[in-house]
Structures are given as C-alpha cells and as structure tokens.
Chain A
Amino acid sequence: MKHYFRGGIHPPENKNGTVDLPLTKADPPPFVAISFSQHIGKPATPLVKPGERVLRGQLIAEQSGYVSAAAHASISGAVKGVVQVRHPLGFLVDALKIENDGLDEWDPSVKIERDVDQLPPGEIRKIVQGAGIVGMGGATFPSHVKLSPPPGKKIDTLILNAAECEPYLTADDLLMREYPEEILMGAELFKRAVGARRAIVGIEDNKLRAVTALRDAAGRIGSNIGITVLPVQYPQGAEKQLIYALLRREVPSGGLPMDVGVLVHNVGSAFAGYQACAFGYPLTERIVTVTGPGIRNPANLWVRIGTMAGHLLDICGFDPETTKKLVVGGPMMGLSMRDLEWSVVKGTNGILALDDPAAYSHRACIRCGRCVESCPSGLLPCTLSNYGEFDKLAEAEEYNARDCIECGICSYVCPSKRPIVQWIRMEKAEINRKKQMEVK
C-alpha cells in the first residue's frame, strides 16, 4: 500500500544540528517550577505545603477531574511555595517551586519491579493515570482518558506516532534510537489496555536509524508490532493524517480517531507508560531538543519537568543577540515565548532560538491556490483568510473553518505572507464561542 495523505508540504528539515548528537542528561537545576497546567483540562490541585520536603516522584498535585493529570516532584528538596510561570499560550499559571537539595532521593513508592506481562487493562489505565502521563508530542491530552474509550467504541488498532514531522525536532528520534524496547513494550501495554488487535509504529523515512533500532528491538522481545516507514511529508504527525497514511481510514469531520477504531499515542507517551507500569516511575523528566541559530551548543537533553527555560538555555550556550524569537515546540506549530519566565512542561519537545524575526507585513491574497493545493484538510484557506480579515463569520463556518487542524501550511506557502492560519484560528474560536452561547 502506498502511504500518503492529501496535501502537505516538505519544509527544510533543519534536523542536522541535533540528529547526530547523543542523548545527554541535563544536570538537575537549582530549583524547579512545576506547573499545575501541563495538560489539556483542569489544573491539578496542589497537595503539599511550603516548607515541606518532597522526594523525587512524589505526588505534589492531584488531578482535579476526569480530564486532568497529576503532577510529581522532579527533584527532591524543599517546597518554596506557589509561583507564577508562563503557560506556552502566553498567560500566567500557578506552579510549585521546589528548591533542589542535590540528593535526588526517590520517593519510596517508585522504583518497584512489576511483571508487566500479567497487568490487566484496568490496572494499566490506573498506573498511567497515577503517573500523570499526557500526550508527549505536544498536545498534552491526558493519556488515561485516551486509554479509556467509551463503551461502544471498539479500538482495533493502536498507532504509535513517531512521525516527528516538525523541522528541527529530534527528541522522538533519539528516544527511539536509545529506548526502542521500552517503547514497544509500552505499546504492548497500551494495546492491551484498549483491547486492540494490533499496533503499528508510523515513522518517517528520515529516521532510518530509529527504524532499525525499533525493528531489532521487536525481534528481541518477540513483538509483532509493525514498523511502517512513511515518506517525509509535513504534517504526517497530525493524528488524522497519520491514520489515513497508515490505514487509509478517514476520521469523520469533528470526530475522533476512535470513531474509526484507532487510538494514536506518541512514542514518548508509550515510553513513559512502560516506565510507569514496569518500575513505577511517574513522569518527571522528558527529552527536549534545544537548537536553532541562537544556540551555540545544540543538544538533545533529558530534562527534569519544571526546569526553567533560562537554565536550559544557559546549558546550551544561548546567544541572546542573535535570538529574535524563542519558540517552544516545532517551527510550524510551536508557540513563541515573550520571555524566559517559563519552565519545561510534559509537552515541551523542543526549544528553538530563531534569528528570523518573521515579522512579515502581509499583502492581499492573489488567489495563487498554493494553500488550497497543500491543505491537508481540503479547505480553501485563502477564502477563509479573507473571511477572517473582513469579519465574515457565517461564511467562514459555511466554508468549514472548524475542520482546520492548524498545521500552518497555508501561512507557510503563502507568497503574500498572509497569516492565514491565525485568521482561521480566530474564526474557529469565535464560532465555538457563539456555539457555546447558543447552548446557554
């Protein structure tokens, strides 16, 4: 079967800066600020008081509702209190500041040995929930929710998203090269948790070393998980596009992957799931790619959750002169940060120091059709951009603005440098707001 999806582009990959670098451990920072809002859903509720000593892996904030996730201490030390850090979306959120005592002492509840082969599905879900695992590709949706499909929705296939289609990022690539067995065993656990028949890893052909590592690992552990190599194309890592490329199944507009019997998890989430199930490790660290023209020593780092951005940038030789823009995530969908008052969260897969100010002044749409040709959702982005510019909400809805996946291709290809995707985001937000008001 030919693996493809509709539309898409091939921006410069820019992965060379970090793809050959080893995976290194960043020294634990002098303090961490662990955000209570690291996931989609309600912020976690803090459980510890200032002055208290916490151990690494200790639960410091519990989930406050079904769609929410717990947070754990990533270092051992004294709780300083609640501080404010910047959420990737720009606003300030509460975080727990812990001062490092340098001992890195684990909480007694972790570092257990568990036989994962016999874990029942319910138990897997419970462990994943307890470990505070969220979608680690950047979307940060709580994993236990995805592992608990509502009755009536049968999942037959688990897809591990290893596309990492964003330029610059190599975090998943490194993870797969270093820990292929753990990832596959995590996939086996997730597969069992939802009762899926099979599991497939979808990976792009610019990560052939990872492909080899995964295939070797599958042989070693006797796993029948398929490793499918896909031609490089952005946005391959977009859930619906990946499902289509691998299985030729089209997720209904407004629907979820489970509507076509599929569950998609990032490889990082599968790794974290295995760590939690086998050893009781909660999610306290992750791999972050720090790169870009403003970074003298790019790196793939194991970073403790809650590490301040400034600390991380100092490790990597940050050059504030050349850096005009600081981006969290990939350059296509990542968010630009205004300062350094933020810490690494569970979804931080990369930090890019870019020199391009990208402060484009846009011109009128010349209807060249490039955005239409490459839109993976089959929209007319240029038309939607005009509706956005001239405040025509009803027309925007009629032209399916809500089906936009915000991959940013339209803005990328636009020769008039129009911020098309931003207008569509605004339309989507407005349409949703109106819908909600109608319900009330």
Chain B
Amino acid sequence: MPAQEKKLLFNVNNSPHIRDGDTTPRIMCLVCLALAPALVWSLFVFGWHALVPIGFSVAACVATEWLIVRWRGLPRTIDDGSAVVTGLLLAAVCPPNLPWWAAVIGGVFAIGVGKQAFGGLGFNIWNPALLGRAFMQASMPDRMMSGEWPHLGFAGEWWKNLFHCLGGSFSGIAERIGTAPDAVSRASMTRAIDGGVDVMTGATILEKMHTPTAMAVVDELGNVTYHAPGALTPGWSDVLRGWFGIEGGSLGEVSAILLVIGGVYLLRKKVIPWDIPAFYLFTAAILGWVLPQPYKIGDAHAYTAWFHGPWLAHLGAGGLMLGAFFMATDMVTGPLTQKGRIIFAVGCGIMTMVIRLFGGYPEGVCYAILLMNICVPLIDTLTKPGVFGAGLKK
C-alpha cells in the first residue's frame, strides 16, 4: 500500500533528533573503573579486610540514595551510578581498618546530608564523599587515624621477599614490613594520639613533615646547634614509598602512581577536564618547593629557607593525587567554565599547601576542596562567558 494512503503517526519531539552517545551512567562507570586499580592495590597492601569499608560504604550510599529518592517520590536515580562513585570515593579516603558501622555512618551522611539534602545529584554544593569524610573526621577522629601500615598479610611469602629485596633501596620500610608491622602500627598510632591533633589518614610522610622538632647537635665545645629536621628533606626512599603506595594511609590514597594511571584514563576518555588536575598539582608542587617549611625548636617556631621544599614528596603523599584526579574534578561541585576551573584548581592547590604547612593538620586536600567547593557559585558568576555579540552597538 502506498505510504500516502496510510495514516501513520510518527514520534514527535523536539530537535535535535540525534544525540551524542555519552551518558551520565557511562561517566560514572568510567570513574569506578579508573578508581579500581588503586582500590585493588589497597587490598593487596592491607589485606582482605580493606573490603569492609569499601563494601559497607558503597552499600550505605546506594541504600540511602534509594530510600531518600523513594521517600521524596522522585523517579529512581540509583541507576545513574553516582551513589556508587560516592561510596567508592568515601571508602578511598577512609583507613583500611575502619569498622563497618563507621563506614555506614559515613555513607549515610555523605548521601543523606551531602547530596540529597541539597536536592540530589547536580545540586549538592560539596563533594559528598569529602563531606562524609570531614564529618567522620570530626565525630570519630580516633577511628579515622592512619593506624595501619601495609603488612602484606594477604600477599604471601613471595611478595614479602620481594619487598625485602626492595628494602635495600627503600631504607627503613623493609624492617617495618618484614619484621614488626604491628609494632610500627602501634607506634605510629601512639605518636599521633600523643600529638593531640586530628591527624588525617594517609599522612604518614606528611605526619613526619608536619612541624617536626629540630635536632639538637652538641659539638666538642659544648655548643648546641639546631638543624632542620631530617623529615623536611626526605630521601628518595621516602618519596618513592609515597608514590608507589608501600605506605600507610587511607586505603585508596596509598598509590599515587595507580591514581595517576586512573586519572590519565579518565582524561583520555574525556570524562574529566585536564585543567583541574594540571593546575591543582602544578600549584601544589610550586608552593611545596617555594614555601619555607615550618619546624620547632623547643616551643619556638622556625622555618627552612625558601625554595627548598620537598615538592616531589608532597605530590606523592597523602590524598593529593586522589583529590586532584577524582575529587576536585567532580563536575557537580566544580565550576562550569575553563577559566573557572583554573581558578578553582589553583585555589585548591594553595589551600592544600597552606593547610599542610601552616595549618593544624598534616593533610589539607579534603578541606581545601571542600572550601573551594563553596566558592564555586561565586567563581561561576565571575567567570560567566561573554555572550556572542553582547555590548555591541546595533
């Protein structure tokens, strides 16, 4: 029958009639994939029990999202995958020996208060995972401390031997790993508690670099001279431990290298923009190198010289890589334009280094990003793109 005589009814909707293939669930899925190497590494380094925070945090996030969206009477949103990403990121900034109930509390807070209270995906001001972490940091600081050193209990003899071999160049860590991980773990915990500060997890190298006390050297004549503490000039072994993740800390933060690999994957897949990690890391590195490092002589404060900072150790240590590639690049809580993203990233870098060097905490990534998140509406207003042809005379 000719089409002419047939009454056909086609779909009617508005243009454009073709769409790009990328979807929000795909973006979230790629973020999970990119995070996987670092999380798998944490299982390898800390053992199976690192699955506890990961599993409970993801489960708590997804369940909270589902419940609240259902309660608000909105269409289901858990299939967009954003709750899974929040759960994984939250676990990544928690210590591996976190009890399951703490992970659940963190997950419920991250989604319930960090995200849904603001209206759900797309409307939250703060990165939900980091807000969850800040909440746990404030409410259960002792649980959030980096109590655990890598013990490779899961890895078996072969790997332990390998690390022993590496011990030659990785001075210091070999004995710790090989001989008495538990003792070291206890020692580091005691030190942190004695210090009386809210120590961020993963700040092990950072912990040592955070206002250490000067060494007193007494010469033959009995004169006392003070030297800048050795922690402020970390050797290659310390730097490499941080970069490769043979190091205590939050479970997803340990290996800077694997986080960079995941981040580059996201860059190649065009999920995250290059400008945020680039400007964030560049700013942090420059400031880590330029700024004088504070230390203590007795009760007095002293500073090392300008332009002598251990910037490479700062880059590989703590949560900087996770923050630069996975946290600051959160689209929802970041600026819209490239100009805005650069301001945001530079701000994150400055805040991170200022907190690390001069603040009360050894690690500043979490609060730096949260603080810059609040500035995003202002940044967006200031960096509104110029409208084509605006302000010209007709």
Contacts and interface: CB of A to CB of B under 8 A. Distances in A.
Interface of A: 6, 11-12, 90, 167, 240, 244, 250-255, 259, 308, 310-311, 313-314, 318, 320, 323-327, 331-340, 352, 354, 356-361, 363-369, 372-373, 375-380, 382-383, 400, 403, 408-409, 411-417, 419, 421-422, 425
Nearest to B7: A339
Contacts of A327: 15, 17
Interface centre among A253, A254, A334, A368 (most CB of B within 10 A): A368
Interface in B6-38: 6-20, 22-24, 26-27
B386 interface: yes
Given A252-B394, A369-B331, A403-B390, A411 B10 contact: no
B387 interface: yes
Interface of B: 2-20, 22-24, 26-27, 75, 77, 80, 82, 120-123, 273, 331-332, 334-338, 341, 380, 384-394
20 contacts: A11-B18, A240-B389, A252-B390, A259-B393, A308-B4, A311-B4, A314-B3, A332-B17, A336-B12, A339-B7, A340-B6, A363-B80, A366-B332, A367-B334, A376-B388, A377-B388, A378-B386, A379-B385, A408-B15, A415-B27
Contacts of B8: 320, 339-340
Given A339-B9, A379-B385, A403-B390, A365 B19 contact: no
A363 B393 contact: no
Given A364-B121, A365-B122, A336 B11 contact: yes
A361 B76 CA distance: 12
A310 B2 contact: yes
Given A364-B121, A378-B386, A412-B16, 16 more contacts: A11-B18, A259-B392, A314-B2, A320-B8, A332-B17, A336-B10, A336-B13, A337-B10, A359-B11, A363-B121, A369-B336, A372-B385, A378-B388, A380-B336, A400-B390, A417-B23
B12 A364 contact: no
A377 B13 contact: no
Contacts of B6: 310, 320, 340
Contacts of B332: 366-367
B10 A331 contact: no
B225 to A, nearest CB: 55
A339 B77 CA distance: 35
A327 B15 CA distance: 9
Contact of B121 (A338, A366, A383, A408): A366
A326 B9 CA distance: 9
B17 A331 contact: yes
Contacts of B82: 366
Contacts of B120: 364
Contacts of B23: 415-417
Contact of A250 (B2, B26, B385, B392): B392
B10 to A, nearest CB: 5
A356 B16 CA distance: 12
Contact of A359 (B13, B15, B335, B380): B13
A318 B22 CA distance: 30
Contacts of A377: 387-388
B388 A6 contact: yes
Interface centre among B15, B341, B385 (most CB of A within 10 A): B15
A327 B2 CA distance: 19
B14 A90 contact: no
Contacts of A414: 19-20
Contacts of A376: 388
Contacts of A378: 385-388, 390
Contacts of A425: 14
Nearest to A407: B16
Contact of A253 (B75, B335, B390): B390
Contacts of A310: 2-6
Nearest to B75: A361
A378 B15 CA distance: 20
A380 B335 CA distance: 11
A372 B17 contact: no
A438 to B, nearest CB: 20
Contact of A320 (B3, B80, B394): B3
Contacts of A413: 20, 22
Contacts of A323: 10
Given A311-B4, A325-B10, A372-B337, A332 B15 contact: yes
Contacts of B391: 253
Given A308-B4, A359-B13, A366 B24 contact: yes
Contacts of A333: 15-16
A365 B6 CA distance: 41
Contact of B393 (A252, A340, A367, A400): A252
A378 to B, nearest CB: 4
Interface centre among B9, B24, B331, B389 (most CB of A within 10 A): B389
A318 B394 contact: no
Nearest to A318: B3
A379 B388 CA distance: 8
A369 B272 CA distance: 10
A98 B273 CA distance: 59
B80 to A, nearest CB: 6
A369 B337 contact: yes
Contacts of B11: 324-325, 336, 357-359
Nearest to A422: B14
Contacts of A11: 18, 20
A422 B337 CA distance: 22
Nearest to B82: A366
Contact of A416 (B3, B24, B273, B390): B24
A255 B394 contact: yes
Contacts of A403: 387-390
B294 to A, nearest CB: 38
Nearest to A335: B15
A304 to B, nearest CB: 15
B387 A253 contact: yes
Contacts of A356: 17-18
Contacts of A382: 336
Contacts of B121: 363-364, 366
Contact of B13 (A244, A250, A358, A415): A358
B86 to A, nearest CB: 13
Nearest to B16: A408
Nearest to B18: A331
Top 9 A-B pairs, shortest CB-CB distance: A310-B4, A252-B392, A408-B16, A364-B122, A253-B389, A255-B394, A422-B14, A378-B385, A331-B17
A366 B122 contact: yes
Nearest to A241: B388
B389 A251 contact: yes
Given A252-B392, A367-B331, A340 B19 contact: no
A325 B13 CA distance: 9
Nearest to A260: B392
B24 A373 contact: no
Contact of B10 (A244, A338, A365, A373): A338
A369 B23 CA distance: 14
A411 B19 contact: yes
B31 to A, nearest CB: 11
A363 B20 CA distance: 15
Given A318-B3, A378-B387, A403-B389, A325 B17 contact: yes
Contacts of B331: 366-369
Contacts of A360: 19
